[in-house]
């Protein structure tokens, strides 16, 4: 096999391999994770984070505006301290509400931001005052059963009164 043909084949191989890597990087994976240098960090205290995990998306009006940087436990307030990395391009007022929501019935949990009416914008290191915890299914079922149990006697009362 002569040298030029050998070089050609190896060249095709290397180009195809790099092309496959590019395909994986651009088409399969996402490189648009928010970098630490293009973002600012704010913190928020939640009573319960439920199944929220680090790197979960932060969405406002359905658009991803950042990612959860870390989740830790605050032993002064006994609440969960969540650090949020927000994209520098988007500013939010200081009275923004952060709530932990679920995409779909069994889907992953994310943080939804709802902007308030203040003029002053959030900056690096601020803390979000208004938070709404994750919905815990057991508590929800508990509340439902509790309210049903409260309704029940009046139902019986009416059925007893009828005859």
| Footprint on this chain of another protein (rule: CB under 8 A) | 1, 3, 6-7, 9-10, 12-14, 16-21, 23-25, 27-31, 33, 53-55
For residue 122, the minimal CB distance to another protein (Å) is 25
The residues pairing with 129 across neighbouring beta strands, listed in sequence order, are: none
The count of residues in the chain is 163
Please say which residue, 6 or 141, places its beta carbon nearer to another protein. Answer: 6
Q: Is 96 left (phi over 0), alpha (psi -120 to 50) or beta?
A: beta
At residue 11, the 3 state secondary structure works out as: helix
For residue 135, the minimal CB distance to another protein (Å) is 19
Record the tokens describing residue 50, joined without a space: 């439920």
Please say which residue, 54 or 145, places its beta carbon nearer to another protein. Answer: 54
Please say which residue, 68 or 122, places its beta carbon nearer to another protein. Answer: 68
Please say which residue, 32 or 150, places its beta carbon nearer to another protein. Answer: 32
For residue 53, the minimal CB distance to another protein (Å) is 4
For residue 119, the minimal CB distance to another protein (Å) is 34
CA pair distance 72, 147, nearest whole angstrom: 34
Contact between 54 and 32 under an 8 Å Cβ cutoff? The reply is no
CA pair distance 56, 77, nearest whole angstrom: 24
For residue 102, the minimal CB distance to another protein (Å) is 15
Neighbours of 119 (CB within 10 A): 6
Please say which residue, 14 or 145, places its beta carbon nearer to another protein. Answer: 14
């Amino acid at each position: 096999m002569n040298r030029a043909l050998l070089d050609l084949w190896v060249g095709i191989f290397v180009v195809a391999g790099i092309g496959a890597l590019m395909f994986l990087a651009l088409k399969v994976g996402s490189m648009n994770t928010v970098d630490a240098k293009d973002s600012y960090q704010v913190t928020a205290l939640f009573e319960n984070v439920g199944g929220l995990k680090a790197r979960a998306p932060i969405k406002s009006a359905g658009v991803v505006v950042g990612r959860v940087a870390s989740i830790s436990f605050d032993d002064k307030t006994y609440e969960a301290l969540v650090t949020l990395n927000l994209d520098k391009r988007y500013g939010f007022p200081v009275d923004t509400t952060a709530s932990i929501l679920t995409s779909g019935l069994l889907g992953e949990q994310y943080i939804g931001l709802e902007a308030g009416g203040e003029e002053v914008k959030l900056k690096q290191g601020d803390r979000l005052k208004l938070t709404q915890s994750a919905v815990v299914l057991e508590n929800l079922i508990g509340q439902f059963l509790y309210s049903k149990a409260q309704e029940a006697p009046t139902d019986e009362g009416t059925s007893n009164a009828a005859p």
